[in-house]
């Protein structure tokens, strides 16, 4: 028979699939002998059955009762006992950390009778009534679906009526009255009384935690973090320990290193006379751990010892929640902590230097998305600026946007194209949508472990928390700090690395990491030293070491998509090992467009030949410049591949010209001639029309011109002492005959130019695989091709039957919400469909042509997850935009290490 309930003493950290991350880590801390309050975990299997059927497993209630009996025996107290009640917390705990996304209820078991017993046994009536009002508030919002603002507003009114500065100063009488008001709110809003039966409270709370797996905020978080919807959450029922028992009690959250910067040392927040939810919620500004040491040095010393043990045991930064109850330290949770991108690189290398992990493990602990964050621009702090306020640097970066005061407005404004900054007193889980939509988050309350800080770091969003001098009037849509009032729509600039907030838009400059990647280690370190910035220096050195190891470890080559010489120059500086895609149609934009138009619309051979003659020197010059920048490295040049309409005059403009001429009694012969030609060549679906290899076969001389320009450019570079390594790529091939026809013509031209110049020319000729038919017939195409390059953008369009320009705006959001996609197939390779075609074509191509070189040049070439797939399939290289080259290098190295 399946077991659905496990005591904390029965599991360990390897059982996250079953016990969830929180339950597995509580079991691990119990196994290590740390002071963990007794409790038990209800498994993810129970949650999945509940979500699938709408009811708990038949045996669950009995197992929970047995576990509660064991808990009562250990505690020497009983659930619901009037004189000395046993109280529990009920917390969610999924396999993967989802901070603040699901539900927790504390003080479960209190009712109108047991609150009296708790007051007596604690000798602190105020504490008992405070605990009871917290239970009703959390239970009402979480379990009975009462608007949480109603409780918050009632609490604020009670504070104001009592003439005190905060809820911690409310006396017993005020709290008793507040409990009664909270109970009335529950009845008025839900139609039901707050349940007085403690076991009924537990039963309802467990169901609510199960259900919280499918809340909008949890679903949105999973979608963003690519967490499966099928996992479900475990539920942890833990004996309550109280941080709100007076001055010798409190709660805190700490990290074994700074999660924002990676600086070694204990970092965290502590609130005296508070429960843990107060710390995370950010409703009061916290104390630092140094200030906690001054309050309770014994508990502080024990906490630091436990932190050292946990970091040593987990071999990583640990995030820890703890409570002190009348001088006794209790460990409530640990997990490997979320961190910013800069902290991830610094901590990984620190642990290598400390002998805790290997450099290969360090490579596995950072990723391309984090490197991309480090490449983003930062504020130019050398320009004049006006400081608005200052808070805690909770998540680094530079964010500029128009201020909004609620999540819904953030989403609405972002959807219309505005960059926004979400400004709140504090955030809560319901703000996730607005946080995702915002450039940055600014709060007046909370610290580095508040909801805003933790979620922002996970999302890679800039965040400043705890700007205490800022008064936020959410209802009035304004905020005031240092005598300056800003209103909704005003622009702020937020520096998440320093905690500074500036009025207006501050200019940005390249990041130190991007400077290192583009200009080299020596230049980047010189800039850091000039600013006396030790943290930046350490970050640059960490990125350099990890990236160097990635380059050593990777099998997969990394090239760049570069259409012009400046693109190639930047790509090479960023570590590209050649050009994987030069889109020659981009060379004909602007003034040159008319030359291609003349070639396509020519009625007579001599007209076409004259246009081609004018194009030849321009193309040759382009290729010489490109090959010069990539001297000694392969340069794959794709022959012309635009949809035909891109090089034709606009149909509507021509019709207007003809109509205007007719209306004035004149005749515009040129417009009429062009209109007739455009209408003759008009296509209903240009993306599947006369383009690519078809254009080269139908328009005489067009591809020959490009082949000649490439061959002549190679010959000139070689004569000048260069090492030109051009490759010719034929686009949109669906039949081997198409490729063979182009190849035959190209080989004759290349041989002719080699003979004329006296320069031996070996120019490989290959094709893009971007049509399903090409993938299916890859074995035959490989007989004629020297290489394949997978054009995964078009391959995705033609496999799915999507027109990318139309479908992404039309219905992709619906597909994501309905779970048809986990992520857009244009962002990450569709492994089961498009990926299977890539796998098949690679296999069939190499069966025919064992030395066939394979690459990919679609946008997927720079996507971290897709890179791992391409490495596993056995491609030789990926090609991506220059900016993504360092990301591809890192991920290719990670793939080699992780997939050994």
CA distances from 858 to 362, 790, 796, 825, 828 (A): 29, 7, 10, 12, 11
Please tell me the predicted confidence (pLDDT) of residue 587: 75
Helix (H, G, I), strand (E, B) or coil at 284: coil
User: For the purposes of burial, counting CB atoms within 10 Å of the CB of 809, is it exposed (0-12), middle (13-18) or buried (19 or more)?
Assistant: exposed
Helical (H) or strand (E) element with 424? strand 420-424
Buried b (16+ CB within 10 A) or exposed e, 248-264: ebbbbbbbbbbbbbbbe
Average pLDDT over residues 852-878: 94
> Which residue in the block uniquely carries the two structure tokens 């520096």?
495
Question: How far is Cα 496 from Cα 399, in angstroms, rounded to an integer?
Answer: 8
Question: How far is Cα 810 from Cα 803, in angstroms, rounded to an integer?
Answer: 10
Q: Which carries the bigger pLDDT value, residue 595 or residue 368?
A: 368
Q: How confident is the model at residue 72 (pLDDT cuts 50, 70, 90)?
A: very high
Which has the closest alpha carbon to 424: 398, 442, 402? Answer: 442
- The yes-or-no verdict on residue 803 having pLDDT over 90 is no
CA 260, chain centre distance (Å)? 16
Q: Which of 390, 451, 853, 860 is catalytic?
A: 451
Q: How confident is the model at residue 684 (pLDDT cuts 50, 70, 90)?
A: low
Please tell me the predicted confidence (pLDDT) of residue 362: 97
Sorted by sequence, the CB contacts under 8 Å of residue 672 that are 6+ apart come out as 658
CA distances from 269 to 93, 304, 827 (A): 22, 14, 38
Spatial contact of 253 and 320, defined as CB atoms under 8 Å apart = yes
HSE-up of residue 337 (Cα within 13 Å, Cβ side): 35
Spatial contact of 880 and 859, defined as CB atoms under 8 Å apart = yes
**What is the per-residue pLDDT across 44-58, written as a single tens digit (0 to 9) for each?**
999 999 999 999 999
Question: How far is Cα 496 from Cα 508, in angstroms, rounded to an integer?
Answer: 13
Question: How far is Cα 379 from Cα 505, in angstroms, rounded to an integer?
Answer: 10
Please tell me the predicted confidence (pLDDT) of residue 666: 80
> DSSP code of 212?
G
What the block records as the tokens of 22 is 């929180």
741-746 contacts at long range (C-beta below 8 A, 24 or more positions apart): 741/697, 742/639, 742/693, 742/696, 742/697, 742/703, 743/784, 745/703, 745/704, 745/707, 746/703, 746/704, 746/707
- Rounded to two decimals, what is the model's pTM? 0.80
Average pLDDT of the chain, as a whole number: 90
Spatial contact of 398 and 376, defined as CB atoms under 8 Å apart = yes
Question: How far is Cα 652 from Cα 204, in angstroms, rounded to an integer?
Answer: 65
What the block records as the tokens of 740 is 């063979």
Question: How far is Cα 727 from Cα 834, in angstroms, rounded to an integer?
Answer: 25
- The yes-or-no verdict on residue 589 having pLDDT over 80 is no
Helix (H, G, I), strand (E, B) or coil at 829: coil
In angstroms, the first-to-last Cα distance of the chain is: 38
- The yes-or-no verdict on residue 99 having pLDDT over 80 is no
Q: How confident is the model at residue 497 (pLDDT cuts 50, 70, 90)?
A: confident
User: For the purposes of burial, counting CB atoms within 10 Å of the CB of 117, is it exposed (0-12), middle (13-18) or buried (19 or more)?
Assistant: middle
Question: How far is Cα 442 from Cα 462, in angstroms, rounded to an integer?
Answer: 9
Question: How far is Cα 456 from Cα 669, in angstroms, rounded to an integer?
Answer: 62
Which has the closest alpha carbon to 323: 294, 303, 304? Answer: 303
Please tell me the predicted confidence (pLDDT) of residue 218: 87
User: Which three-class secondary structure string do you get for 678-738?
Assistant: HHHHCCCCHHHCCCCHHHHHHCCCHHHHHHHHHHHHHHHHHHCCCCCEEEEEECCCCCHHH
Question: How far is Cα 697 from Cα 742, in angstroms, rounded to an integer?
Answer: 8
User: For the purposes of burial, counting CB atoms within 10 Å of the CB of 591, is it exposed (0-12), middle (13-18) or buried (19 or more)?
Assistant: exposed
Question: How far is Cα 735 from Cα 771, in angstroms, rounded to an integer?
Answer: 10
Please tell me the predicted confidence (pLDDT) of residue 779: 97
Residues written for the chain? 900
What the block records as the tokens of 888 is 């591809």
Q: Of 228-237, 440-449, 667-676, where does mean pLDDT reach its minimum?
A: 667-676
State yes or no: is 465 an active-site residue. Answer: no
CA 897, chain centre distance (Å)? 22
Q: Of 295-304, 669-678, 827-836, where does mean pLDDT reach its minimum?
A: 669-678
Q: How confident is the model at residue 466 (pLDDT cuts 50, 70, 90)?
A: confident
Q: How confident is the model at residue 275 (pLDDT cuts 50, 70, 90)?
A: confident
Please tell me the predicted confidence (pLDDT) of residue 772: 97
State yes or no: is 451 an active-site residue. Answer: yes
Handedness of CA 137, 142, 145, 149 (dihedral sign): positive
CA distances from 741 to 264, 726, 845 (A): 64, 20, 19
The fraction of the chain above a pLDDT of 70, given in percent, is 95
- The yes-or-no verdict on residue 499 having pLDDT over 70 is yes
- The yes-or-no verdict on residue 442 having pLDDT over 90 is yes
Please tell me the predicted confidence (pLDDT) of residue 890: 98
Helical (H) or strand (E) element with 268? strand 264-272
Question: How far is Cα 346 from Cα 341, in angstroms, rounded to an integer?
Answer: 9
Q: Which of 318, 635, 857, 880 is catalytic?
A: 857
**What is the per-residue pLDDT across 511-566, written as a single tens digit (0 to 9) for each?**
899 899 999 999 999 988 887 889 999 999 999 999 999 999 999 999 999 988 98
Please tell me the predicted confidence (pLDDT) of residue 875: 98
The fraction of the chain above a pLDDT of 90, given in percent, is 66
**What is the per-residue pLDDT across 744-790, written as a single tens digit (0 to 9) for each?**
999 999 999 999 999 999 999 999 999 999 999 999 999 999 999 99
What the block records as the tokens of 255 is 């990290």
Question: How far is Cα 34 from Cα 6, in angstroms, rounded to an integer?
Answer: 18
- The yes-or-no verdict on residue 845 having pLDDT over 80 is yes
Q: How many helices (H) and strands (E) does the chain have?
A: 37, 31
Spatial contact of 456 and 462, defined as CB atoms under 8 Å apart = yes
**What is the per-residue pLDDT across 388-418, written as a single tens digit (0 to 9) for each?**
999 888 887 889 999 999 999 999 999 999 9
CA 429, chain centre distance (Å)? 18
CA 595, chain centre distance (Å)? 44
Handedness of CA 283, 289, 294, 295 (dihedral sign): positive
Neighbours of 533 (CB within 10 A): 14
């Amino acid at each position: 028979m399946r077991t659905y309930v496990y005591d904390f003493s029965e599991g360990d950290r390897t059982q996250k699939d079953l016990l969830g991350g929180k339950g597995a880590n509580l079991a691990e801390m119990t196994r290590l002998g740390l002071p963990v309050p007794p409790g038990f975990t209800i498994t993810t299997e129970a949650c999945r059955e509940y979500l699938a059927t709408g009811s708990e497993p038949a045996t669950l209630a009995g197992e929970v009762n047995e576990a509660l009996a064991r808990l009562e025996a250990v505690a020497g107290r009983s659930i619901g006992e009037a004189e000395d009640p046993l109280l529990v917390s009920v917390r969610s705990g999924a396999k993967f950390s989802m901070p603040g996304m699901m539900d927790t209820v504390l003080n479960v078991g209190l009712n109108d009778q047991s609150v009296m017993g708790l007051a007596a046994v604690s000798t602190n009536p105020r504490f008992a009534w405070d605990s009871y009002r917290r239970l009703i508030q959390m239970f009402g919002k979480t379990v009975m679906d009462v608007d949480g603002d109603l409780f918050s507003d009632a609490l604020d009114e009670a504070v104001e009526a009592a003439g005190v500065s905060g809820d911690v100063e409310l006396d017993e009488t005020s709290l008793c009255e507040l409990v009664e008001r909270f109970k009335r709110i529950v009845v008025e809003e839900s139609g039901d009384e707050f349940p007085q039966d403690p076991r009924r409270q537990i039963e309802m709370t467990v169901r609510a935690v199960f259900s919280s797996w499918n809340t909008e905020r949890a679903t949105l978080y999973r979608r963003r973090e690519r967490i499966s919807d099928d996992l479900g959450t475990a539920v942890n029922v833990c004996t309550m320990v109280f941080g709100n028992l007076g001055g010798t009690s409190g709660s805190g959250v700490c990290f074994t290193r700074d999660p924002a910067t990676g600086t070694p040392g204990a970092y965290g927040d502590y609130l005296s006379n508070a429960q843990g939810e107060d710390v995370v919620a950010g409703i009061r500004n916290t104390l630092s751990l140094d200030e906690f040491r001054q309050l309770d040095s014994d508990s502080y010393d024990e906490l630091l010892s436990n932190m050292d043990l946990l970091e040593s045991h987990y071999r990583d930064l640990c995030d820890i929640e703890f409570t002190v109850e009348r001088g006794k330290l209790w460990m409530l949770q640990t997990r490997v902590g979320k961190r910013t991108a800069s902290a991830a690189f610094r901590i990984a290398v620190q642990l290598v230097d400390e002998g805790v992990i290997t450099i290969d493990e360090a490579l596995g602990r950072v990723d391309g998305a984090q490197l991309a964050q480090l490449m983003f621009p930062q504020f130019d702090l050398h320009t004049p600026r006006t400081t608005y306020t200052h808070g805690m640097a909770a998540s680094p970066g530079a964010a500029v946007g128009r201020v909004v005061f609620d999540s819904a407005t953030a989403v609405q404004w972002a959807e219309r194209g505005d960059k926004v900054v979400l400004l709140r007193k504090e955030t809560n889980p319901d703000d996730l949508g607005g946080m995702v939509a915002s450039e940055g988050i600014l709060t007046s309350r909370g610290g580095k472990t508040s909801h805003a800080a933790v979620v922002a770091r996970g999302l890679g969003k800039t965040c400043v928390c705890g700007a205490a001098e800022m008064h936020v009037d959410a209802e009035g849509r304004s905020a005031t700090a240092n005598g300056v009032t800003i209103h909704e729509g005003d622009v702020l600039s937020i520096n998440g690395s320093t905690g500074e907030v500036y009025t207006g838009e501050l200019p940005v400059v390249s990041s130190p990491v991007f400077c290192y990647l583009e200009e080299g280690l020596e230049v980047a370190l010189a800039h850091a030293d000039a600013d006396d910035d030790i943290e930046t220096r350490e970050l640059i050195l960490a990125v350099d070491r990890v990236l160097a190891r990635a380059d050593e470890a990777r099998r997969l080559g990394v090239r760049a998509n570069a259409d012009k010489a400046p693109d190639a120059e930047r790509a090479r500086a960023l570590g590209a090992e050649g050009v994987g895609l030069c889109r020659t149609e981009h060379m004909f934009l602007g003034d040159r467009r008319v030359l291609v138009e003349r070639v396509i619309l020519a009625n007579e051979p001599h007209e076409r030949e004259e246009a081609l003659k004018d194009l030849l020197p321009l193309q040759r010059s382009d290729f010489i410049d490109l090959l010069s920048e990539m001297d000694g490295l392969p340069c794959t040049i794709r022959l012309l591949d635009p949809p035909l309409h891109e090089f034709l005059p606009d149909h509507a403009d021509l019709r207007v010209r003809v109509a205007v001429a007719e209306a004035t009694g004149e005749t515009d012969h040129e417009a009429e001639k062009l209109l007739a030609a455009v209408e003759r060549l008009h296509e209903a679906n240009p993306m599947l029309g006369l383009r690519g290899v078809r254009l080269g076969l139908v328009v005489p001389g067009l591809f020959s011109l490009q082949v000649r320009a490439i061959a002549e450019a190679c010959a000139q570079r070689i004569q000048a002492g260069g090492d030109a390594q051009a490759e010719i790529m034929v686009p949109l091939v669906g039949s081997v005959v198409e490729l063979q026809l182009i190849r035959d013509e190209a080989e004759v031209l290349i041989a002719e130019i080699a003979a004329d110049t006296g320069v031996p020319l070996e120019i490989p000729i290959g094709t893009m695989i971007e049509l399903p038919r090409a993938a299916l017939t890859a074995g035959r195409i490989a007989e004629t091709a020297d290489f394949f390059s997978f054009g995964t953008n078009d391959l995705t369009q033609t496999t799915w039957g999507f027109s990318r320009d139309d479908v992404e705006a039309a219905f992709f959001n619906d597909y994501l919400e309905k779970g048809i996609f986990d992520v857009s197939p244009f962002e990450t390779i569709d492994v089961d469909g498009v990926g299977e075609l890539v796998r098949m074509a690679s296999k069939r191509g190499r069966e025919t042509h064992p030395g066939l070189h394979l690459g990919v040049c679609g946008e997927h070439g720079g996507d971290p997850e897709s890179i791992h797939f391409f490495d596993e399939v056995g491609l030789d290289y990926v090609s991506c935009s220059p900016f993504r080259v360092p990301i591809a290098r890192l991920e290719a190295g990670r793939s080699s290490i992780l997939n050994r």
